[in-house]
Structure 1
């Protein structure tokens, strides 16, 4: 099985944000693939929705054998296990969340489906906090 190098961006703005991210990293490392690089934590204001809860964010690189769709399923499963009850795609907008895990890049793949776009255009080109946290991985 071939290994894929994937850049993920994680964020949390509910509960113990840093602990939520650390637990999600642990789950990713145990259940999805080896985490090979981590950015520093970055504290940011919510983007594209109003909330008084600030975010803690981190970027990481993971090596996995999962395909993009398989990886998305694993990520969504981890989000639900950690208490995320609603996904922004089903809500039609963003809300506070225990954990959010986004696939930013997957090797050099360009992939578009109803549920997934790789590379993640908003994180790479529109969101300033993403550009800051991803600078060492892109």
Structure 2
């Protein structure tokens, strides 16, 4: 029997047709990586890091895949490029950003990839949609649930449901 890994991804967009870009990313992820099990609501969020840029739309999806973390990373980078991502500056404006938040309860720190995402516990725009679909998922390093991490998050950036 093939083992299917549970993966949580964060999608973000603040350039172009933001909602359509997120929808296209979700379709490509399901086609190329694995079956989506759940998806959070879409949230409009203040920029983080570089503040002088448009607001983001963010969404967290949970999926199952038979792929390994490096292969998932390779595919999401290709999807970002296909959807028009150009990397100008760290935390700058972008058509699409896809981050691996969790890969099962794996702890990985390689030159190309760190899992769990090293700053997910600091970012309300990540924790709000994550806690919506996986409030009881336990962070393998901090041993706290998504809901607990959100409750103690010191990031006061605006995160609101997108209508």
Say yes or no: TM over 0.5: yes
CA distance in 1, matches of 2:45, 2:97: 14
C-alpha distance in 2 between matches for 1:21 and 1:126: 23
User: 1:113 aligns to what?
Assistant: 110
Please give the residue correspondences for 1:1-138 in structure 2 after superposition, counting only pairs within 5 Å.
1-86=2-87, 91=89, 93-123=90-120, 125-135=121-131, 136-137=133-134, 138=137
Q: Distance in 1 between matches of 2:84 and 2:103?
A: 26
Q: Distance in 2 between matches of 1:52 and 1:78?
A: 23
Separation in 1, partners of 2:98, 2:52: 19
Q: Secondary structure at the match of 1:62?
A: strand
Unaligned runs of 5+ in 1: none
- The one of the two structures with greater contact order (alpha-carbon pairs below 8 A, sep at least 6) is 1
Partner Cα distance (2:25, 2:125) in 1:
20
- TM-score, L = length of structure 2: 0.78
Structure 2: runs of 5+ lacking an equivalent: 138-163
Compute the TM-score of the two structures, normalised by the length of structure 1.
Answer: 0.92
How far the C-alpha of 1:40 sits from its partner, in A, is 0.4
Distance in 1 separating the partners of 2:79 and 2:47: 22
* 8 Å contact kept, 2:53–2:93: no
CA distance in 1, matches of 2:75, 2:81: 10
Q: 1:81 to 1:35 in 2, by over 3 A?
A: same
| Conservation of the 8 A alpha-carbon contact between 2:53 and 2:92 | no
